[in-house]
Structure 1
């Protein structure tokens, strides 16, 4: 396990997993600002990003409070002095310390090329948001009833937002999948490219197991049948097909093992804070 995560309990690491998912996808979706296909979608994607980053903030604030209360003093020297804050956790952890799903860090392109002019593929973004939001509606619904009152409150707020994210992305999935030959082809390419990465949802991890044992986690593998049914129904409505099952490597982002793309994303996200640590304005 990553060095920083080694120093926290499973329930805290689970909170970081939820927060990292929201932060990384929020950062990815924010890359559409000024580049979406319509003005309305430019605003929609910006609001989606703000929702996700807001979820991340609430979770990071809770993690910081718990870490400070536990008096954990052994931490990376690169972290700013003083109490741990949400900014410490968002801006001063390195790639191996992030516990987000690999799916969420991938570029907006089925070619897996770094971000650049012409590399934003709307189909890839829509399919990723749909696959993830379909899962998180189920996760946040269950976390509303968890034994951690603070996390339950965050879940209740997040559920309202992610329900909209799911509706937005599913509507686009159907509109483009059952649209022109070109839009159908591109949506199918995105589904073929991204669906295998969802295998990570169902892989067990010590962090999730520990959180479940503590009464503040969700047994995500147990959600697979429900998630599959919802995904299959949406694909059918969009006239898209599920790609054939094939043996492939199961990504391990939630264990801290990431693709090369997360480093580029964090460099963009964290650059200013690391150049001017402690700066305020």
Structure 2
């Protein structure tokens, strides 16, 4: 492989890592807002621990992206100094929490996708990304178990909890298609056999989520439309407020250390 080709491959892996890192970072920020607001103390702890896992994934992935893309940007610079149009997270990750059932529906969709895609990505041609993906796949499997458990509990609970869980699924599912979309960088990696496109896990994801929804006695939505644009930097109005809150301390005290 020529140096030029290797550099192009590194840039594509950098974009892949950036997408994944942004998803993890933004979803972690959403989950953090449940702290002190979750239905029980145990859920305060559970959701905050899931958010911490995701922050860990984001730190590693953004740091890797900054090294591979040749800019040398750190994880903090990528997280705290980009504007909204530079973020490549899916709209699903930034979707407002809604009630607890909406959050669980979002977790159900995302954690099943992340577990499957990270497991596939653990065999990619970039050694550090492969190692990160292998670890992340094991961690998000616990996130999946948490989401599965609550989906079934709410679906088989009271009439009100069942209605809310179904409403949550109906709200979230139009945002799921973007998880499996590939930009040019991801498509090139997939075509070269260097890294799998997320679409390779789509059918497995559908079967896994359908099985959980069926156990909950609920209906798997069939969306008539699909949200997109997040991977291209086109985000929702609510994303601006999320980003401002997330970046406020770092921008107020540039160069600060803690």
Normalising by structure 1, report the TM-score: 0.84
Which residue matches 2:6?
Answer: none
CA contact (8 A) 1:14 1:211 kept: no
Contact 2:106 2:172 in 1 (8 A): yes
* Mapped pair 1:149 → 2:105: no
Query: Which ranges in structure 2 are unaligned for 5 or more consecutive residues?
Result: 1-9
How much does 1:20 deviate? 0.3
How far 1:62 sits from its partner (Å)? 1.3
Structure 1 match to 2:80:
91
* Paired residues, number: 249
Give the CA deviation at 1:234. 0.9
Within 5 Å, give how 1:28-177 maps onto structure 2: 28-67=30-69, 70=70, 72=71, 84-109=73-98, 121-177=99-155
Kindly state the Cα deviation for residue 276 of structure 1 after the two structures are TM-superposed. Answer: 1.2
Corresponding residue number in structure 1 for 2:253? 276
Matched, 1:256 2:233: yes
Report the alpha carbon displacement of residue 256 of structure 1 after superposing the two structures with TM.
Answer: 1.5
Over 3 Å counting, the alpha-carbon distance change for 1:245 and 1:48 in structure 2 is closer
| Structure 2 contact 123–195 (Cα < 8 Å) conserved | no
| Structure 1 counterpart of 2:7 | none
Cα displacement (A) at 1:214? 5.5
Residues 85 and 234, structure 2, Cα contact 8 Å, conserved in 1: yes
Q: RMSD of the TM alignment (CA)?
A: 1.6
Change (3 A) 1:135 1:201: same
SS of 2:38 mapped into structure 1: coil
Gaps of 5+ in 1: 1-7, 73-82, 110-120
Is the aligned partner of 1:205 residue 2:183?
A: yes
Q: State whether residues 90 and 231 of structure 2, in contact with CA within 8 Å, keep that contact through their aligned partners in structure 1.
A: yes
Q: Tell me the equivalent position of 2:5.
A: none
Change (3 A) 1:36 1:130: same
TM-score by length of 2: 0.92
- Cα offset, 1:106, TM superposition: 1.1
